[in-house]
Amino acid sequence: MSVRVAIAGASGYTGFELVRLLCAHPSALISGITSRQQKGHRLDDHYPALKGHCDLVFTDTDPEKLASSADLVFTALPHEAAMDIVPGLLQLGVKVVDLSADYRLRSPEVYGQWYSVHKTPELLDEAVYGLPELHRDRIREARLVANPGCYPTSVILAAAPLLAKGLIDPATIIADSKSGVSGAGRGVSLGVHFCEVNESFKAYKVAEHRHTPEIEQELSAMAGASVVINFTPHLVPMSRGILSTVYASLRKGVSAGEVDGAFRDFYAGEPFVRLSAPGGLPSSLQVRGSNYCDLGWKVDQRTGRVIVVSVIDNLTRGASGQAVCNMNIMCGFAENAGLDFAPWQP
Amino acid sequence: MSVRVAIAGASGYTGFELVRLLCAHPSALISGITSRQQKGHRLDDHYPALKGHCDLVFTDTDPEKLASSADLVFTALPHEAAMDIVPGLLQLGVKVVDLSADYRLRSPEVYGQWYSVHKTPELLDEAVYGLPELHRDRIREARLVANPGCYPTSVILAAAPLLAKGLIDPATIIADSKSGVSGAGRGVSLGVHFCEVNESFKAYKVAEHRHTPEIEQELSAMAGASVVINFTPHLVPMSRGILSTVYASLRKGVSAGEVDGAFRDFYAGEPFVRLSAPGGLPSSLQVRGSNYCDLGWKVDQRTGRVIVVSVIDNLTRGASGQAVCNMNIMCGFAENAGLDFAPWQP
Amino acid sequence: MSVRVAIAGASGYTGFELVRLLCAHPSALISGITSRQQKGHRLDDHYPALKGHCDLVFTDTDPEKLASSADLVFTALPHEAAMDIVPGLLQLGVKVVDLSADYRLRSPEVYGQWYSVHKTPELLDEAVYGLPELHRDRIREARLVANPGCYPTSVILAAAPLLAKGLIDPATIIADSKSGVSGAGRGVSLGVHFCEVNESFKAYKVAEHRHTPEIEQELSAMAGASVVINFTPHLVPMSRGILSTVYASLRKGVSAGEVDGAFRDFYAGEPFVRLSAPGGLPSSLQVRGSNYCDLGWKVDQRTGRVIVVSVIDNLTRGASGQAVCNMNIMCGFAENAGLDFAPWQP
Amino acid sequence: MSVRVAIAGASGYTGFELVRLLCAHPSALISGITSRQQKGHRLDDHYPALKGHCDLVFTDTDPEKLASSADLVFTALPHEAAMDIVPGLLQLGVKVVDLSADYRLRSPEVYGQWYSVHKTPELLDEAVYGLPELHRDRIREARLVANPGCYPTSVILAAAPLLAKGLIDPATIIADSKSGVSGAGRGVSLGVHFCEVNESFKAYKVAEHRHTPEIEQELSAMAGASVVINFTPHLVPMSRGILSTVYASLRKGVSAGEVDGAFRDFYAGEPFVRLSAPGGLPSSLQVRGSNYCDLGWKVDQRTGRVIVVSVIDNLTRGASGQAVCNMNIMCGFAENAGLDFAPWQP
């Protein structure tokens, strides 16, 4: 049994990564790819790497056409563009994994504060935030899955076990995140010019990055109370990978052993979370190209804080790999189907 | 039907790449891994990336033990060390794909000039040079396959069609090659220190690199006459990839169309060679992580030369991927079994 | 008027950077360089870049010889080795700028906890912590200046104005720092292998890095009370540069304008601190190769925290540039003598 | 005595490098900078690195205004744009160092074949090709110096001594060149996107790069006969630096000693050419940020070829450094004034 999938907005890095993963998927068949800019061109002219793997031609992003040949559509469009086509796709009976930010926030008000006026607020209740470790059961039944942002994936998975067990003070969470350049997409600008990024490290959008409310929404749900955090993104001179360093003050009397236990319990049996050996800390390289989130942590007795280090590949676990994982869950496939390969080293 | 394989010398980058590929291979099972230095340690402690993929422990490199649980052994040892165990493995009835240089040269004299005295010259006639495009039929029957060097793979595939059709003057071949740093292995030295390599480009072993005789042997066979070339390796500040720029003077009257035809004929139906569209030139990135060799070329009417650009991933097509491909051929599997995934971008 | 200087331990990156700066200094003359490992070799064989700039030969690190030809010695030795020769040099009437950690901590007990037993605790009171913005007057009179660590320079300069004005709660300071690889020195190890660092990002020595007490000592002095912080270093795949992201909770009622004012007042007239325009944030690249510390900051009204971003070149401001600056102050030269060049772009 | 200089087209990497060098020059004063795109903005807003070094504002590129406050103008404009203003500047009595290609070729026909129709062919005879090692005397007297291209500088300096002494067959010259990304300028395009360049190596414009005729013109003059070469540029994932590997067949009977002698004689006393010790080969890193061209070579007895390796910094020796050197010669300053600093390591 196999699922026919289409990718709306397939010309960027996220689109490439979806094609790479779906070409090798045992139960998925790519039936169509769309791109406004590349319409009429072959995907493998755009990405010579794909020669021999996919001979599709980019078409227009027409919901009717997409729905006629696909059971599920991945929408890898910019925010605001996604909500223009997602409702139509759903009405035509197609399942959707949306990689934009449009259906991640439950509150249209919050969406309005950080993005713009939401055009289809009626769908927000139905949409499921596609982080399998938190919402696996609802994803299974969903028509519309909002694929999490790259930074939020790394930060939420780092903090969730501690909040779930009530080990930290939610008011003290600081997430200092570092991302490779592919997170900025394939569009051209001075900010992604090789010579401006190479041999440089910088912070950006400090205290105002749009991934903040998404993190806060999920951490609040986990804490059972409103959580407000500091989230600081930085740009690393490398192509792929995110590392988030998450700080929080432990509640009085919490021991290092309890922290260890929280992580081991929370992620027991999870196929895509790997915990470092005691004292160990993961590098972004050790998950490159894979759907893993690797976690390590340390309790600092001097300051009473716990420091969690979380690594993912921003294009795989942070976007397309997680999207395929969500498809697997929605379609009843093995959760790791097409995703069970080793990370790329070196 | 499945083959049990062992890897002798599995702790370096070539060993990791073998494990990565074999873990995902539909018909291979890794039965053992050896390493003098890492003996007793788990592979996934050494490479946290492999956690969940391989829980083997490094053992000593003992031919008897290897042969008792494996049908085929990959020897990823330094030259001279390989020829210490290969004869024993063959005698015990095990097939061998040797990734060292020990069985690549047909002539013990030439081996002696560039390496050292050969200890088992009697095996040189039997060993097959494992470049499938040139020696597929002999590989199929071989007990011992000498897996080609990384640079030679890129250079031979670039020049072979032109020599086979007699389009170039063999005395004019110059191969200017550029390699990522993983080609130097995982051993530590000032030469691979990040700060010495980063933001630097350099040539090394000019006119004296040991891959020279290997290239000349295969090109001579193709030309039907002794070919002597210039081969110049360079170090590129990147982890993986080789690009070789190969120059040769065209014989009088040879047209650009004949050059095109030579490549298209020679590589017709080949699963792991991809030819650029006319005017196109491949980048090393477009084959990263894959077993492809992508080729592009240009005829310069002003100088009467042809310039061929050849790209491979040095660890995959230049070592472990090609070794798995050779295993596939030796074992009667599909030639692309376990190797049919898209390259890594970006 | 010119000063004769010698460099003890000149073969590493810090030593090279000292030579580069001192060769171009209008009032300094390098009279000797030492290195145990490179003894007898020319510096410009070791560093071909220096050909034509310095023809000195490495000698043994003998205090008597050093003192006989130098007025001031830079000791760029590992900690513990520095305190073996510094007392002798002082006794011989030579001024010392020590780039090791041996004289940075005022308390021999704290040194003992983080390093080892101090051999010359009697010198700790006299030694001046060589951060000109904090201790310019004492540096002017000093015989022995303890040149600050790279991370501490970036963190202390970020937090000092806020503590000096009492704008933040000292118990809430978290310094998340990111450094290029040259900070690890020129010694070889798997950890600095190009392929292990490239395309990777990682944290290390979380909650246990030895620069922690040095930062705490200076911030405590500034706060007038004991300050304990979290300091987390990370490794960035680039050769040079440190960026520190420093978080702290503002005291109740502190406005963004007061924060701005604190920085502008504290650094008024400083030649080597540059403040970003409002809303701006510095990148590590914009100070590369220079002695600048560039600072930017943001007040987050949602969380009540201030986030300060501080960038330096770890080899220049974080080591050798600051050492030359200290020499300038100790010798009565213009503070920016030999340091008044623009950063390297790109 | 000091010279007032202006820079037309100062917003790119070449412009920045000119500002960096001229700010530190003992006898030059920057009186104006122009940029169509950045008109009205401060240079140090555009390049925060320059804060404290240059507070100039970009103006329009108006020859009259430039001439009114400058004795010499550096024109760092695209080709075709340069020849729109150079004649006017000369008429107004200003000396010009032109960094474009417009005045490098002696023949308007050749310019027409590779670029476009030349608008001021009458100036071509007067313009001096600004490679000091070849044309120092004419540069001294010139009103208009055509600053050489980056690749040509590296290739011509590699081959000139061998042609001057008649040691090689001019018909066999092949220049395989590799450049950092800053050579492509600061304009944005997919080709300089970090993720497209990083971890990638590629050739481009094979057999059709516009630097070819410039190299051939100078080598022909050196050989006393028409020289046609193969020149192949490649893109290296680093910001700065060019390494050219130049191949040629030695004339019969030429010894390695004669080759050594040719280089030593030709470059005796040159301030900006450094020759490697016998057997040594330079890296691009060892000249980074400096005006040096470092050369190494090897005679391959097996093939009868000589291989010369030449390294420069493309922005310094390949553009702005050489331009300042030409200014020094034109103004009677010491040739290395403002250029006598050590290269940047690491």
Q: Is residue B336 part of a domain?
A: no
Mean pLDDT of chain A: 97
Listed in order, strand segments (DSSP E) in D71-133 are 72-75, 95-98, 128-129
- C136 lies in the same domain as C197: no
Average pLDDT over residues B21-48: 96
Burial of residue C1 (CB within 10 Å: 0-12, 13-18, 19+) is exposed
- B251 lies in the same domain as B225: yes
Of the partner residues C23, C52, C342, the one whose CB lies closest to the CB of residue D50: C342
Cα-flanking dihedrals φ and ψ of residue B233, to 5°? -90, 145
pLDDT of residue C1: 72
The answer to whether C193 contacts chain B (CB < 8 Å) is yes
pLDDT of residue D279: 85
C54 is catalytic: no
| Chain C hits for D199, Cβ within 8 Å | 199
Considering the candidates C23, C54, C150, C331, report the single residue annotated as catalytic: C150
Give the rounded percent of residues in chain A with a pLDDT score beyond 90.
99
Cα-flanking dihedrals φ and ψ of residue C77, to 5°? -105, 165
Closest CA to A160 of A283, A270, A277: A270
Instruction: Find, in chain A, the residue whose alpha carbon is nearest to that of C294.
Output: A202
Of the partner residues A203, A240, A346, the one whose CB lies closest to the CB of residue C309: A203
Cα-flanking dihedrals φ and ψ of residue A2, to 5°? -140, 155
The answer to whether C58 contacts chain A (CB < 8 Å) is no
Q: Is residue A144 part of a domain?
A: yes
Q: How many structural domains comprise chain D?
A: 2
Distance of residue C300 Cα from the nearest chain A Cα, in angstroms: 6
- C172 lies in the same domain as C126: no
- Interchain proximity B307–D241, CB inside 8 Å: no
Q: Is residue B182 part of a domain?
A: yes
The answer to whether B275 contacts chain A (CB < 8 Å) is no
| Chain B hits for C193, Cβ within 8 Å | 186, 188, 192-194
Of the partner residues A24, A276, A346, the one whose CB lies closest to the CB of residue B182: A346
The answer to whether A111 contacts chain C (CB < 8 Å) is no
Q: Which two tokens stand for residue D183?
A: 């050579």
Mean pLDDT of chain B: 97
- C270 lies in the same domain as C239: yes
The answer to whether C241 contacts chain A (CB < 8 Å) is yes
Q: Which two tokens stand for residue A219?
A: 């951490």
Q: Within B224-341, where are the H helices?
A: 256-266, 321-331
SS3 C245: strand
The answer to whether C273 contacts chain D (CB < 8 Å) is no
Q: Given pLDDT bands bounded at 50, 70 and 90, which one contains residue D196? A: very high
Provide the 8-state DSSP code for A57.
B
The answer to whether C198 contacts chain A (CB < 8 Å) is yes
| Chain B hits for A239, Cβ within 8 Å | 346
> Which of C283, C287, C312 should be substituted to probe chain A, the one whose Cβ sees the most A Cβ atoms within 10 Å?
C283
Q: How far apart are CA C169 and CA C121, in angstroms?
A: 32
The answer to whether A289 contacts chain B (CB < 8 Å) is yes
Chain D: list its partners (3+ Cβ pairs within 8 Å).
Answer: A, B, C
Instruction: Find, in chain B, the residue whose alpha carbon is nearest to that of C237.
Output: B194
- Interchain proximity A289–B289, CB inside 8 Å: yes
Considering the candidates A150, A293, A325, A331, report the single residue annotated as catalytic: A150
Distance of residue C113 Cα from the nearest chain B Cα, in angstroms: 30
Q: Return the amino acid letter for A236.
A: V
- D157 lies in the same domain as D271: yes
> Is the pLDDT at B122 greater than 90, yes or no?
yes
- Interchain proximity D193–A192, CB inside 8 Å: yes
The residues, any chain, with a CB within 8 Å of residue B305's CB and separated by 6 or more, are B172, B247, B248, B249, B250, B299, D174, D230
Distance of residue C164 Cα from the nearest chain B Cα, in angstroms: 38
Reported as a single tens digit per residue, the pLDDT across B188-206 is 999 999 999 999 999 999 9
Q: Is the ipTM of this complex over 0.95?
A: yes
The answer to whether A264 contacts chain D (CB < 8 Å) is no
Beta bridge partners, C298, equal C307
Q: Is residue C105 part of a domain?
A: yes
- C186 lies in the same domain as C199: yes
Instruction: Find, in chain C, the residue whose alpha carbon is nearest to that of D47.
Output: C286
CB C74 within 8 A of CB C68: no
- D255 lies in the same domain as D139: no
* Chain mean position to CA A133: 12
Distance of residue A229 Cα from the nearest chain D Cα, in angstroms: 30
Chain B: list its partners (3+ Cβ pairs within 8 Å).
Answer: A, C, D
| Chain C hits for D343, Cβ within 8 Å | 49
> Is the pLDDT at D327 greater than 90, yes or no?
yes
Distance of residue B301 Cα from the nearest chain D Cα, in angstroms: 9
The answer to whether D336 contacts chain C (CB < 8 Å) is no
The number of C-beta contacts closer than 8 angstroms across A and B is 84
For residue A158, the domain's CATH number is: 3.30.360.10
Reported as a single tens digit per residue, the pLDDT across A88-145 is 999 999 999 999 999 999 999 999 999 999 999 999 999 999 999 999 999 999 999 9
- Interchain proximity D241–B198, CB inside 8 Å: no
Would you mind telling me the total number of residues written for chain D in this entry?
346
> Is the pLDDT at A62 greater than 80, yes or no?
yes
Q: Which residues of chain C have pLDDT under 50?
A: none
- Interchain proximity A285–B51, CB inside 8 Å: no
Long-range contacts of D87-90 (CB under 8 A, 24+ apart): D87/D120, D87/D123, D88/D63, D88/D64, D89/D63, D90/D123, D90/D143, D90/D144
- D111 lies in the same domain as D39: yes
pLDDT of residue D346: 96
Q: Is residue C50 part of a domain?
A: yes
- Would you name the residues of B annotated as active-site residues? 150
For residue C76, the domain's CATH number is: 3.40.50.720
Tell me the CA end-to-end span of chain C in Å, nearest whole number.
36
> Is the pLDDT at D1 greater than 90, yes or no?
no
Of the partner residues A236, A281, A311, the one whose CB lies closest to the CB of residue C206: A281
- Between CA C262 and CA C269, with CA C263 as vertex, the angle to 5 degrees is 115
- B141 lies in the same domain as B161: no
> Which of B110, B182, B201 should be substituted to probe chain D, the one whose Cβ sees the most D Cβ atoms within 10 Å?
B201
H/E stretch holding D340 reads none
- Interchain proximity C236–A283, CB inside 8 Å: no
pTM: 0.98
- Interchain proximity B282–A199, CB inside 8 Å: no
Q: Given pLDDT bands bounded at 50, 70 and 90, which one contains residue A279? A: confident
> Is the pLDDT at A1 greater than 80, yes or no?
no
What's the domain range around A196?
A: 151-316
Cis preceding-peptide flag for C346 (omega within 30 of 0): yes
Q: Is residue A342 part of a domain?
A: no
> Is the pLDDT at B1 greater than 90, yes or no?
no
Q: Is residue C9 part of a domain?
A: yes
CB D175 within 8 A of CB D203: no
The answer to whether B302 contacts chain D (CB < 8 Å) is yes
How far is residue A223 from each of residues A124, A132, A260, D287, measured CA to CA in Å?
A: 21, 18, 19, 56
- Interchain proximity C241–A200, CB inside 8 Å: yes
Q: Return the amino acid letter for C291.
A: N
The number of C-beta contacts closer than 8 angstroms across B and C is 53
Burial of residue D216 (CB within 10 Å: 0-12, 13-18, 19+) is buried
The answer to whether A345 contacts chain D (CB < 8 Å) is no
- Interchain proximity A287–B343, CB inside 8 Å: no
pLDDT of residue B13: 97
Average pLDDT over residues B275-282: 93
pLDDT of residue B284: 98
Mean pLDDT of chain D: 97
pLDDT of residue B289: 98
| Chain D hits for C286, Cβ within 8 Å | 47-49
Provide the 8-state DSSP code for B316.
I
H/E stretch holding D144 reads strand D144-146
- B158 lies in the same domain as B208: yes
Of the partner residues B13, B199, B342, the one whose CB lies closest to the CB of residue A20: B342
| Chain A hits for B283, Cβ within 8 Å | 48
Q: Is residue C56 part of a domain?
A: yes
pLDDT of residue B179: 98
- D200 lies in the same domain as D140: no
The answer to whether C228 contacts chain D (CB < 8 Å) is no
Instruction: Find, in chain C, the residue whose alpha carbon is nearest to that of A200.
Output: C285
The residues, any chain, with a CB within 8 Å of residue B341's CB and separated by 6 or more, are A20, A23, A24, A341, B289, B290
The answer to whether B2 contacts chain D (CB < 8 Å) is no
Q: Given pLDDT bands bounded at 50, 70 and 90, which one contains residue A253? A: very high
The answer to whether D23 contacts chain C (CB < 8 Å) is yes
pLDDT of residue B278: 86
- C131 lies in the same domain as C264: no
